[in-house]
Structure formats: structure tokens, C-alpha cells
Structure 1
Amino acid sequence: MKVGVFATFMSPQATPKMIMDFGRRAENAGLESIWMGEHVALFDKNTYGYPGSKDGRIPVPEGGGMLDVTATFGFLAAATTKLRLGTGVALVPQRNPIYTAKEMCTLDWLSDGRIDFGIGVGWNKEEVEACGYRWEDRGKRCDEFLEVMRRLWTEPVVDFSGKWVKFATLRMDPKPIQKPHVPIIVGGYADAAFARAVKFGAGWYGFNLDPARAKTMLDKLDTAFAKAGRKRDSAYEIIITPPMNMAPDHVKQYADLGVHRLIPNLGSQRPDKIDQRLPEIENVVKLAA
């Protein structure tokens, strides 16, 4: 089982030097990948709370904000040589699909095939609407946008006529290094998310799941595969970010579930906290070997 790290870089701590040093330290520590969350804007009041915290708020430092994932991954790709870089997750329904396809295939090209495109529909209603889209149809829009991107990555010339996207004789080059295209890793726990994972995914990503809950979600994923007349094979990647307080013996439990990649959360990006947390994650690498 491979081990990476989830690190949503936030200002003011995430300076260029901090990001470069962290990327190199992660690579030298034997970590396989860095995954980064995405939010282009935050709001003082939200219709729905952030599911990853007890108070429903994203823990952003005072006066700070989340860095853009595309620009940050371009920076990290230049600072490292082996680390894979995964979006955890890119909020596809609020992104322009043509720009997103271009960004991801360019990142894949410049990183020599080290990009994983983790995707989800998002929880922040205000953010979706501020980006110019409707909240209620984000799932169906996500599926159409993924189809657009998949075709742009694999076909020399594309004509497309959907509900949200229409164009003719469109060319997009260079194509991704990875074949058939940048891997799509689908996140989410709703039935629609599992169906999306079966249709589009090279894998599924679960966040903040202990082994028991991970098993429950994998059972739902297998049900979705069965409904599609398919069976999940060993090449289909299961990627899990465990809770921050993961017990050491849980590493084997994740492995026994068939988890391919375990992505512990870095947490705080204060230098002293990183110095404390990275050895803990290095120990996970040893336990997973």
C-alpha cells in the first residue's frame, strides 16, 4: 500500500519556500503523492457546513486563504521529480470544462505524467453560485463536463452538443502523457457519486474515513458496480484519507480492505507542526511497506 499526504496549502504559511521545501521533504521521506483540496472562494455564512470539521467551517488561518490548486501543482511539479500530485477534490461543476481540461493535460505534460484528477460536486452552495452555475443540477453538469474533458484528452478533433456545453471541430493539444488520459478519481458518498465513480473513474477517493466506514463505502461502491453490470477489479484504485487520530493498527486494516493509497492529512502548516507531523506520516510509510 502506497502512502501520500493531504496538504491544502494556505496563506500566509504556504510561502513559495515552504511549499518547495515541503515537496522535497515529502519526496525524500518516501511519500508517493501530495493531494490538495480546492476552494476558490470562502464565505462568512454558508447554507451547508464544511463536512470535514466539527463547526462546519474550513480552518483557514486569520487573514489567509487557500492557494489555487493548478498553480500550486505546477510549482510542486517543478520542485519534485517523483511525487504524484492529486486534486482532492477538484470541484468540476463550478469549473469551465474546456479550461479545466487544458489545465490538467498541461500539468500532466509538464510533470511527465504525475497528475491524478480527483473530482467531486462540492458542498458549498454559495461557491457554486458565485462561479455562475446552479446548485441544484451540479451532479448532471459534472457528468457532462467529465465527458467533455475525457473526449478532449483522447480525440484529435471533438464535436460536442450537450445541455451546458456546445462546440464544433475543437482541437486540444498537447494530449496528456498518461493513457488513455489523466486518471479520474471520483470522490463522494451519495449513490450518484458511486454511479459516477463506476462510469468515469479509474478509482474512488474517500476522505476522513476510519476502516469501518471505509468498508461501508466500498460496499456501496461495489453495489454501484453491480448495478452497472460490472465488477470492481484490482486495478481500480481505492484512495483513503484517514482521520487525523488514526491508530497504527488501522494501517493493516486499510490494507486488508484493498486500499491502494493511504493519504494522511498533514493538518496545520506551521513549521513546528509540520516537524511534528511528518515523522508520524513517515511511520505510516513503514507500517504500510
Structure 2
Amino acid sequence: MRIGLAVPQYGAFATPEAIDEVARAAESLGFDSLWAADRILAPLEPSDPYPGGDGTMPEQYRTFLDPLTVLTLAAAVTTRVRLGTSTLNALWHSPVLLTRTLTSLDVLSHGRLDVGLGLGWLRDEYRAAGVQWEGRGARLEEWLDVAETIWTRETVRHDGERWTIPPSVVEPKPVQSPRPPILLGGFSHATLERIGRRADGWLAVGLPLPALTAMWSTIGLAADAVGRDASALRMVVRVNPRLTEGEAPAELVPNVGTLAQVADYLLGTAGAGADEVLIDLQQTTNTTDELLTTAEALIKRLRA
């Protein structure tokens, strides 16, 4: 199983020094990937509850660095780890402009980029970005059409409902061929079907293992329905644990629990179909030393 770590990005960890130190150390410790998330604001009176815990957005999210800027710095101080977004809210950006940035990161990292995309959950952010909340699924479908065209066609042209590109040359192309892997996050039936139909994998979160298994089966059936090889798809499971000294009730794991409980959950995701796990320690540690000590203990247990 591949093991990823969330790169410092928010709260007390939103500093260039933390990104540099943790990225270098994570590669040395044997982590396979570094991941960055996407938040643009923390509303004082949110339009929607946070999808976790008691519905309150973590206090650390008040300070949040741009994910692709963070990954660019991480790319500059590493050579091996892959660099992923979990998840990038694609619809806040023009596909032409965002694919340019993503391509640049793939080129500058020598082909280490995983493009994880999602639709988000907070209507306030869509309003702030000037993007319509309704019709997100259809908008993402066309967004993916544009990105695919830019990344894989010598002559780029798109005539769609939302975006128009005249016949053009768009260079450079990504290092990875035909394009960087695209992973999609989400849990609705439409999202799971979309993953099976056109993505390279699923960005999941720490749900009960039976739920992960059932959703992964839905993705596989959607892939089979369009003649795709379901076994080639990836499942990456993200957890943002709050680590405790004493054992937590089983129903709270992996969101709350001891290091051993969280590690055992992550190992168990392999049986549900996961081939990579992603651990975000920024909500349970306060310093880079504490974060790296915890990360080292986790990876040792997972590799044992």
C-alpha cells in the first residue's frame, strides 16, 4: 500500500519553512506522496455545515495557502514523492487557465502530479468565486472535456456550452502521457458513476469499511458498463484524525483514536479496495517536530 502525507498548508503550518522541512523529511521517511487541499475562505456564518464532526469548520482553516503554490515549493525540494491535490475545486477556475498551471507543475516536477478534483460542499465559496452552484455536475463534465482536449490533442479546439477555444496550439503538454492521472472526490451516485466512466481513480475519506466497499463496487460497475478496466482504477483514502492517548470508541475511528487505531483502520482499507492512504496531521499536531514525529511513528506501523 502506498502512503501519502498532507503537506503543511493551513493553520500554524502555513509557512514556507514548514513546507520545506516536512516535504524533505517525508521523502526521507519513505512516504510515497504529498497532498494539498483547497479552501478559499472561512465564513463567519457558513451557508452549509462542515461535512464532519459537529459540522463546525476546523479553526485552522482560517489560514489556508493555495494548494498548487504549496505543491510547487514541495516539488522544488523533493525528487521522488508524487504530488497530489485532495481535492482541488476545479469549477472555481477556467479549465484553460487551470490546466496551464497543472501542466506547469507536472513539467517542473518531472511528471509527478496527480490531479485530484472535487465539487466542494460550501456554497459561500462558489458565490465568492463567482461560479454558479447549480449544475455543478454538468459543468465538471465539460471542464474535464476541455482539460482532456488541451492535454491530449495537438490542435486544441472546443465548442461547448460554457467555454469556447478556437483552433489553437497549447504547449507544453504534460510530462505524463497522455496526461496526469485524474482522481475525483465525492460520494453521490452521479459522482461514483462519473469516476468509473472517465476518471483514473477515487479520492475517498475515512468512512466505515463496508461503505467504502459498496461505493467502490459502484465505481467498478460504472467502469465495466463503458468497457473500461475497473482493476486499473485507484482508491486513495484520506483521513484527518484527532489522535488520542486512550482508545476511542470503534465508531469514531479513524476520525478520532489512538495512533494504533488509526493505523489499523488504514491497513484495513486495503480490503475495501484502497491502494493508497493519505494522512493529514495538521489538526492533531502543533509544530513541525510533533507532526514529523507522529508521521514517522505512523509510517513505521503501516510498513511493519
Deviation at 1:219, TM superposition (A): 2.2
Residue of structure 1 in register with 2:204 after alignment: 206
* SS class of match (1:167): strand
2:10 and 2:64 in contact (8 A); partners too:
yes
CA distance in 1, matches of 2:151, 2:66: 22
Change (3 A) 1:266 1:210: farther
Cα deviations by residue, 1:83-126 (Å, 9 ceiling, x for unpaired): 11110011112211111100101000000001000011110111
| Counterpart pick for 1:195 among 185, 193, 196 | 193
Shift of 1:276: 4.2
Written as runs of structure 1 = structure 2, the 5 A alignment for 1:117-136 is: 117-136=115-134
Residue 256 of structure 2 is aligned to residue 239 of structure 1: no
What RMSD over aligned residues (CA atoms) do the two structures have, in Å?
2.0
Counterpart residue identity of residue 96, structure 1: S
1:260 paired residue among 261, 266, 275: 275
Q: Residue in 1 aligned with 2:79?
A: 81
Q: 132-141 vs 215-224, which deviates more?
A: 215-224
- How far apart in 2 are the matches of 1:88 and 1:71? 14
Q: Give the aligned residue type for 2:280.
A: N
Alignment-mate amino acid for residue 89 of structure 2: L
- Which of these residues, 53, 64, 67, is aligned with residue 65 of structure 2? 67
Cα distance change on mapping 1:228 and 1:56 into 2, 3 Å: farther
Q: Which amino acid aligns with 2:147?
A: M
Q: Match for residue 58 of structure 2?
A: 58
Structure 2 equivalent of residue 26 of structure 1: 26
Deviations 1:127-156 (A, max 9, x none): 112111110111110110111011101112
Change (3 A) 1:178 1:99: same
- The corresponding residue for 2:294 is 277
Contact 2:8 2:18 in 1 (8 A): no
What TM-score comes out, normalization by structure 2 length? 0.87
Q: Write the deviation string for residues 208-258 of structure 1: whole angstroms up to 9, x where unpaired.
A: 22423321221222233344454512x211111243434443344222333
Mapped partners of 2:155, 2:266: distance in 1: 45
> Matches of 1:100 and 1:124 in 2, distance apart?
20
Give the 3-state SS of the residue equivalent to 2:59 in structure 1: coil
Aligned to 1:163: 161
CA 1:136 to 1:254, structure 2 compared with 1: closer, same or farther past 3 Å?
same
Deviating more after overlay: 223-232 vs 144-153:
223-232
Are 1:8 and 1:66, in contact at CA under 8 Å, matched by a contact in 2?
no
Unmatched 5+ residue regions in structure 2? 240-253
Report the Cα offset of residue 162 of structure 1: 0.8
| Stretch deviating more after TM superposition (184-193 or 240-249) | 240-249
Q: Which runs of 5+ in 1 are unaligned?
A: none
Specify the alignment match of 2:135 in structure 1. 137
8 A contact 1:30–1:285 mirrored in 2: no
Q: How far apart, CA to CA, are the structure 2 residues paired with 1:158 and 1:102? A: 13
Task: Tell me the secondary structure at the aligned position of residue 279 of structure 2.
Answer: coil
Contact 1:4–1:35 (CA under 8 A) maintained in structure 2:
yes
Per mean C-alpha deviation after superposition, the further-off stretch among 40-49 and 95-104 is: 40-49
Residue matched to 1:45: 45
Is the 8 Å Cα contact of residues 52 and 208 (structure 1) preserved in structure 2? no
Q: Which portions of structure 1, spanning 4 or more consecutive aligned residues, are displaced by more than 6 angstroms? A: none
Deviation at 1:58, TM superposition (A): 3.4
Q: Distance in 1 between matches of 2:12 and 2:271?
A: 39
Q: Which moved more, 1:271-280 or 1:112-121?
A: 271-280
Scaled by the length of structure 1, the TM-score of the pair is: 0.91
On the 8 A contact 2:82/2:114 being kept in 1, the answer is yes
Question: Percent identity between the aligned chains?
Answer: 27
Highest relative contact order (Cα 8 Å, sep 6+), 1 or 2? Answer: 1
Distance 2:166 2:146 in 1: 12
Asked if the contact 1:31–1:285 (Cα under 8 Å) also holds between the matched residues in 2, the reply is no
Q: How big is the shift at 1:167?
A: 1.8
The AA in structure 2 aligned to 1:198 is G
